[in-house]
Amino acid sequence: MNRKKIILFNITSRCNESCSFCLKSSFLKKGLSDLDLQEIKENYFFLKKSNHISHVVLTGGEPTLHSNFLKILDFFESQNVDISLVTNLLRISQSNYFFSKIKPYFSKDKNNRIIASVNHLPSFSQKEKQRALGFIKILQNQLNFGLTILIYKENIDTLGELSLWLRDNIERYYRGIFEIELRFLYFSETPKDILIDSLPKEKQVAPTVSDFLAPWSNTDLPVNIMPSRFPLCYINNFNKIDLGVIKLRGNRCYLLVDKEFQREKVQLIDVRGQGVDQCNNCLLRNICMAGDYLKYQGKGWQPSIKPFKKL
């Protein structure tokens, strides 16, 4: 199968958060100027010459802080390109005017969607309370959305409660299909100090993933849950896990564009794992997106891998 190419635009290095697990911390500290609209257009047309591009991802930093954000959305709409917006939801929560402007781009008659980052219960902090309000806005307005949830040291004990909170609000307000991506910090660009400071204890991982999955198994909500960047052998409940979606995701690769890497210098990001000996005997070896996780095998930072013999 031909790999689907998606352009990942880091349109700004500015952010309105300071997450302890931020993979882009070194990028943000450089304080680079935003990718301006003309640069975004030039990179898109350059990459389109040699790749079939039907989907772009807008990220940062926090992409909604870009001064020409609405014009960027307009441009990709004019090109009939699907847009995924990766956001921490804070500007959506804080500005009703801004939210009213972006709503039409993410309505259910389009393929665009908001990828909402939610890692904690609203009670965790004031910013998490604001993020929760932004998420409920999305639900109430019936916009296309997906969720990303990072499993790390500070939320490992409350993921089961977070799962219940998410399920209850989606059941109350939303009508439609959605996706939840569970991920760890096993990325090639993750600094070692962030791994050491943020990874939960080994014995906590599998039970916590089970706690998160349990509420979704008892509902008819049309949800696809996708484990990302950690082995499928962490999972013991596949009721809401769509292996087909995971396989499709594994056949994507990303072309990273930011202020430093443009045109001929764009970076290729591959999310597929390279495999290890025990994975060769696993029934899910061609589907699992363990990715860069595998290079940490044997370093004591993760549970051991146990291949699937049957489902």
105 falls in which pLDDT band (50, 70, 90)? very high
What mean pLDDT value characterizes the chain? Answer: 86
Question: Does residue 306 sit within a domain?
Answer: no
Give the pLDDT confidence score for residue 189 in this predicted structure: 61
Give the residue among 20, 56, 29, 7 at the shortest CA–CA distance from 196: 20
Question: Does residue 9 sit within a domain?
Answer: yes
Question: Does residue 100 sit within a domain?
Answer: yes
6 has a pLDDT exceeding 90: yes
123 falls in which pLDDT band (50, 70, 90)? very high
Give the residue among 115, 199, 218 at the shortest CA–CA distance from 160: 218
Give the pLDDT confidence score for residue 45 in this predicted structure: 97
2 has a pLDDT exceeding 80: no
Domain count, the chain: 1
174 has a pLDDT exceeding 90: yes
Cβ-based neighbours of 14, under 8 Å, separated by 6 or more = 28, 34, 60, 61, 62, 65
109 has a pLDDT exceeding 90: yes
CATH number at residue 93: 3.20.20.70
Alpha-carbon distance of 253 to 91, in angstroms, equals: 29
Question: Does residue 234 sit within a domain?
Answer: yes
Instruction: Give the mean pLDDT of 98-111.
Output: 96
- Domain extent for 231: 4-296
Give the pLDDT confidence score for residue 294 in this predicted structure: 59
76 has a pLDDT exceeding 90: yes
Question: Does residue 105 sit within a domain?
Answer: yes
Instruction: Give the mean pLDDT of 274-295.
Output: 66
Pairing of the two strands 53-59 and 82-87: parallel
Question: 186-226: per-residue pLDDT in tens?
Answer: 555 667 777 777 777 767 777 888 899 999 988 889 998 88
290 has a pLDDT exceeding 70: no
104 falls in which pLDDT band (50, 70, 90)? very high
CB 246 within 8 A of CB 226: yes
44 falls in which pLDDT band (50, 70, 90)? very high
Question: Does residue 309 sit within a domain?
Answer: no
173 has a pLDDT exceeding 90: yes
Question: Does residue 261 sit within a domain?
Answer: yes
Strands (E), 2-138: 4-10, 53-59, 82-87, 113-117
Question: Does residue 74 sit within a domain?
Answer: yes
Give the pLDDT confidence score for residue 122 in this predicted structure: 97
98 has a pLDDT exceeding 90: yes
